[in-house]
A and B are shown apart, each in its own frame.
Chain A
Amino acid sequence: MSDIAVKVEDLGKKYVIGHNVNSEYARFNEFLTSVGKNVLNRLKHPLSAAAGGMEREEFWALKDVSFELKQGDRLGIIGHNGSGKSTLLKMLSRITTPSTGRITMHGRIASLLEVGTGFHPELTGRENIYLNGSILGMTRAEIRAKFDEIVEFSGVEKFLDTPVKRYSSGMYVRLAFAVAAHLDPEIMVVDEVLSVGDAEFQKKCIGKMRDISSDNGRTILFVSHNLNAIQSLCTRGIVLQKGNLLYDGDISNAVRNYVESRKILATVPLTERPKRPWEDGRLRFVRCVLKDSDGNENYSVPVGSKAVFEIEFDCLEDLSGDIQLEVSLFNSENIRLACLNTRNLGLMSSFRKGRNCVRFVIPRVPFYPDTFTVLLYAEKDGSTMASIPDAFSFQTISGPYQNPDILSMPYSSLSAVDYTFETE
């Protein structure tokens, strides 16, 4: 057997977006009417080949992606939201089939796209270990052999015969991860599953995965938004952008490449960004600028100073009711450090048709020096009107909260809270 573990050739996935993009699922009458229309069209234009069918738009979630993994490689898959990461992962774990290309894998595969897939709330912890284990691809004999280990790792011995619906969420996750951690595949496909736990738990999981990989030469494909986690686990990285493979190579270069690509993307004017399929377009962001306390445009914000996000947008119609406007700030590791949202403020807003201008104000910016990217988002009645990741980026620099001469200490924390120091 060769030492190639995974080979991906010209992989592509096409989705067809029809009229029913906005409805949650197609309804039967739509199906019937479309059949009816087809028949009618064929009768009217018997010779035209294109007769019939709804207006359809093709959308390539992933296109012409090729790479190879050797046994023991740990690959990090990096990309923006909507870059095709999840699609790639779903094809690797055989949940959806590719439209083009081929994947060849040598060895047993386990994919972990979620912790506790298939857990049934009515079943006991013991029963769920068997259920989840066989869903993840273990045989009953394997589960039986590892049962005690799994129970010990989870630390829920006492509640083994209690239905998991009575578990605390912490116990639930621990039990679920315990099963997953005892999978013994040659190739492991892991999605952002670690985001469920706290930092301590994540560290433990990553440690466990790294051990499994380096001890036994296991191949791992890992997707995460957490660049830190990716860098500490993976040896190789690929960067995806809009479904294309942007970079393939060493992990630290991949991460650097990704951060750069975000900065470049962030300079494209908002009005020139392509509309994404799930945006319904009733609202369009036109411009977003960052201003300082004097009202000047400024993208280098001193920590502890005032920051104003001024957003201009167009509404296609009068909008009122359940509307959310949101500005989210992501640091260079792509962790969402802030989410400024009108609903969080308890605001019911309404906007006129045409140009509107709003401001979100952070009186004192509580982030230590780093580079941030901004996500703009608008929603009405649960459906996305507009969503622009990487609308622009800005930096925070030393400021009132931080003595610029002492640089080392504050970097160990993410936020710069307002504080004083007192002595008796």
Chain B
Amino acid sequence: MEHKEKTLVIEANRGGMLYLRDFWNYRELFFTLAWRDIVVRYKQTIVGVLWTVIRPLATMLVFTVVFGKIAKLPSDAGVPYVLMVFAGMLPWQFISGTITTGSEALVGNQALISKVYFPRMIIPTARILMGLVELLINAVLFAALFVWFRFVPSWQIVFVPLFMLVAVFLSLGVTYFLSSLNVKYRDFQYLVPFIVQMGLYISPIGFSSSIVPERWRLLYACNPVVGIVDGIRWCLFNSPLMVESVISAVVISLAFFVFGIWFFRKKEIEFADYI
């Protein structure tokens, strides 16, 4: 908006490059909305931002007790069960959190969408920033846990950002897809929590991938979260890693990302008419 004397043409169909330029022009709004989402999230709570660490900590304790102590599932070699679970919790919280809040984002900003113009993709994308901020906070907690257990991560830790990048692509793609569907079909606000809950059981969050029987491994690797979580465990603990699961994670995430953008762009023009 800051370029003066600019000419704007509004037509029935607008090209993709223009959209990209618009997104760039509205970057301030993007950060403002992300900031709003973060600030508003814990307003009028007593412990505030502490909730960010309480939730994964509590889940981790439950998983450690249920899977590690009661079911006596094995951890990856030489790794405390707590650390292994937490290494899965971090990417999982990020992915499930952004998908859950992101898919409601458009509907939650109904007033904005029907009253002002901006590239609509800003809204679900801003939720990713919120997830990343929470992820950073939890990463600090995770580092503290490493110190507590006097555990030294392996050198591959430098590759963690790469696997997180895959997680970002996956979350964005799914979020674009679900949030735009939610505009017209509110059924998805009931479906998404269910999908997320299912995801928790079929992904190696509370357990190690090593307990999955050999003959199921390939099917199991079709879940892109497997490749991401196992990849991060490989980075931190040098746990065994199936190359197929990494390839599947990268391919599926990128495919979802491209498809999500395409789908969102296709539906976007009618948001204001349906929301």
Which residue of A107, A122, A135 contacts B4 across the interface (Cβ within 8 Å)?
A107
Which residue of A27, A105, A134 contacts B187 across the interface (Cβ within 8 Å)?
A27
Rounded to whole Å, the gap between the CB of B6 and the closest CB of chain A is 7
Contact B4 A117 (CB under 8 A): no
Contact A114 B32 (CB under 8 A): no
Q: For the complex, what is the distance from the CA of A127 to the CA of B37, rounded to whole Å?
A: 12
Summarize B's interface: helix, strand, loop or mixed: mixed
Is A103 part of the contact surface with B, judged by Cβ < 8 Å?
Answer: yes
Give the segment of A91-99, A198-206, A295-303 that binds chain B: A91-99
Q: For the complex, what is the distance from the CA of A118 to the CA of B7, rounded to whole Å?
A: 26
Is A80 part of the contact surface with B, judged by Cβ < 8 Å?
Answer: no
Q: For the complex, what is the distance from the CA of A113 to the CA of B112, rounded to whole Å?
A: 10
Give the segment of B8-16, B53-61, B142-150 that binds chain A: B8-16
Is B44 part of the contact surface with A, judged by Cβ < 8 Å?
Answer: yes
Rounded to whole Å, the gap between the CB of B185 and the closest CB of chain A is 4
CB neighbors of A among B5-38 (8 A)? 5-12, 14, 28-29, 32, 36
Give the segment of A136-144, A246-254, A338-346 that binds chain B: A136-144
Q: For the complex, what is the distance from the CA of A130 to the CA of B9, rounded to whole Å?
A: 28
Contact A106 B1 (CB under 8 A): no
Is A282 part of the contact surface with B, judged by Cβ < 8 Å?
Answer: no
Contact B9 A123 (CB under 8 A): no
Is B139 part of the contact surface with A, judged by Cβ < 8 Å?
Answer: no
Interface size on B, residues (CB 8 A): 37
Contact A98 B8 (CB under 8 A): no
Q: Answer whether A95 and B8 are a contact pair too, CB < 8 Å, given A28-B187, A108-B1, A131-B36.
A: no
Contact B111 A15 (CB under 8 A): no
Q: Answer whether A111 and B117 are a contact pair too, CB < 8 Å, given A26-B184, A28-B187, A122-B43.
A: yes
Q: Answer whether A26 and B117 are a contact pair too, CB < 8 Å, given A107-B4, A122-B40.
A: no
A-B pairs with beta carbons under 8 Å apart, 22 shown: A25-B184, A26-B185, A27-B185, A28-B185, A29-B187, A91-B10, A93-B116, A96-B269, A97-B10, A97-B11, A97-B269, A103-B8, A104-B9, A106-B7, A107-B4, A108-B1, A111-B116, A117-B112, A118-B111, A123-B39, A131-B32, A135-B118
**A-contacting residues of B (Cβ < 8 Å)?**
1-2, 4-12, 14, 28-29, 32, 36, 39-40, 43-44, 111-118, 184-188, 269, 272-274
The 4 closest A-B pairs by CB, nearest first: A94-B117, A28-B187, A103-B10, A28-B185
